[in-house]
Structure 1
């Protein structure tokens, strides 16, 4: 690995157990899966791999159990070029898993068992400080204890690095900690929680993004699934439409977006351009099944862009 890092990613590693169903189950209903797959996932691991596939130099900090699943997770990260030096073992809990159902529209329902992810500690974060110093920016989600997430945000900010927060799942962070975030990325439900209004359209997202930015965050993005994303900062409030594709599986699309916008912003300094490209990268990811296996390489994305332009 090179000494310099584009990104350091903090958070969860899960093994995904995915059933492809004709319809998502309602309460008390059993549905049969015609196809089934097992593969590495977890929000942070997905984001680290997505960035690496886009040619980032990226390190990850997280926890796994001392079990076969954990070994497979580490091996997959190494294969994808992610620095796994600060992925720690724990004998107190098993590696996290996610049970996912996906319907023909690519929509999903997910149940996770956090397992070893819940044991990520402030000490773990401090032990990885060398990697933070080498990085240009840091990405985190909230599949961890609240105090650990707040410790990460404060530590990254104190080092003068960009703090990129994906507020998923929803956790009520202290207001002064939110104010340290350089880029906040939320989906419709997370934006609804933060803004206090229902976010279900481009218009309501534009209203919500202003409310959220007034919490003291310089740059806010609301992702709108297959529609695209809305960005607001001091320069602009803009909607970026997603290209139309045949959706197969949206499981890791949000993670793909977070990784792409983070990397492009670190590399170019142009957030608007980065959001536009991240929408396209995430859209490409939904055309394949699975989590990490669906994440596009930079070469695949460049090919996709050429085909989109030619059409």
Structure 2
């Protein structure tokens, strides 16, 4: 049963809060090459913050747990979260530390390359654990990524699992995680690159995604969803499995598509929908996000996702 107040589930996101510094050019440079771009912009991002915004725009109550630095970006990042309805009382400030940033190069067709500097995100610890603990009794899902320490993520995942709260892990950016982590994860949602890093071979289609999902289930996760970009997403829960095709759209910027996917997935599951339906919601949200430029700004509203699904 969904645990909520009224009709809106509470979704928690513990993770990165970044400012994205984005360049646009006709093509991405090769190693050692300089290309001339045509535009530079800054956008609020960070996988944790993106997913919190995605959940809020899908109609859930959304709470962000994380940290920003005491630089000029910190207050901007918090204000922007608040402006879309994300609760930020558990967002702390780390002194003499920069906020997380991501330097993103976007080429033709929306393909991107990203370099992150985690900054204040890496200072999350006991205070954030306590914040998650205080909110869990009211929550339906806890979304995690790997932009905060793995040890903290394991601690909160174990706590959430012990209280029957769904733990949804987006294993990016790729980091080594101990096998014990998997037993606390309800759903793991890697993209092709992350899945390859986890299982040790290339993920290119539904067949290889099925093999990867089986390997992740064997490690102890409850369910596995492999995000395959323009192909869609493969899901498996140990009893059933399937491939959900992507929605046909014209991509302009693929940044944060996976975060839109996870936010929609979390809300669908928290509203009692089965995994296959939740994956369809995720695919629809991800498809809409790539038609817009930016990270948090590309997270779609619920009515648009429902219209695409219908």
Q: Could you say whether these structures have the same fold, taking a TM-score greater than 0.5 normalized by the shorter chain as the test?
A: yes
- Structure 2 residue matching 1:217: 3-state secondary structure: coil
Aligned pair 1:165/2:169, yes or no? Answer: yes
The equivalent of 2:149 in structure 1 is 145
Using the alignment, how far apart are the partners of 1:269 and 1:138 within structure 2?
Answer: 17
Using the alignment, how far apart are the partners of 1:285 and 1:128 within structure 2?
Answer: 28
The equivalent of 1:309 in structure 2 is none
The equivalent of 2:93 in structure 1 is 89
Q: Which residue, 296, 303, 307 being the options, matches 1:299? A: 303
Aligned pair 1:103/2:107, yes or no? Answer: yes
Paired residues of 1:8 and 1:139 also in contact (CA < 8 A): yes
Report deviation, 1:214: 1.0
Using the alignment, how far apart are the partners of 2:128 and 2:265 within structure 1?
Answer: 26
Taking the TM superposition and a 5 Å limit, the aligned residue runs for 1:1-311 are 5-306=9-310
Using the alignment, how far apart are the partners of 1:244 and 1:140 within structure 2?
Answer: 28
Paired residues of 2:244 and 2:279 also in contact (CA < 8 A): yes
Paired residues of 2:9 and 2:270 also in contact (CA < 8 A): no
Using the alignment, how far apart are the partners of 2:136 and 2:36 within structure 1?
Answer: 45
| Residue segments in structure 2 that go unaligned for 5+ positions in a row | none
| Residue segments in structure 1 that go unaligned for 5+ positions in a row | 307-311
- Give the RMSD, CA atoms, in angstroms: 1.7
Paired residues of 2:103 and 2:115 also in contact (CA < 8 A): yes
Describe the superposition over 1:72-107 as per-residue Cα deviations: whole angstroms up to 9, x where unpaired: 110011111000000001103111111111112110
Using the alignment, how far apart are the partners of 2:198 and 2:102 within structure 1?
Answer: 26
Paired residues of 1:150 and 1:173 also in contact (CA < 8 A): no
Using the alignment, how far apart are the partners of 2:306 and 2:163 within structure 1?
Answer: 34
Quick check: 39-48 or 261-270, which moved more?
261-270
TM-score for the superposition, normalised by structure 1: 0.94
TM-score for the superposition, normalised by structure 2: 0.94
Report deviation, 1:7: 0.8
- Aligned residues between the structures: 306
Paired residues of 2:281 and 2:309 also in contact (CA < 8 A): no
Paired residues of 1:122 and 1:151 also in contact (CA < 8 A): no
Report deviation, 1:158: 2.2
Report deviation, 1:5: 4.7
Report deviation, 1:122: 2.8
Using the alignment, how far apart are the partners of 1:189 and 1:277 within structure 2?
Answer: 22
Describe the superposition over 1:158-213 as per-residue Cα deviations: whole angstroms up to 9, x where unpaired: 22211111111222222222111111111112212222322112221112211221
Using the alignment, how far apart are the partners of 2:69 and 2:173 within structure 1?
Answer: 22
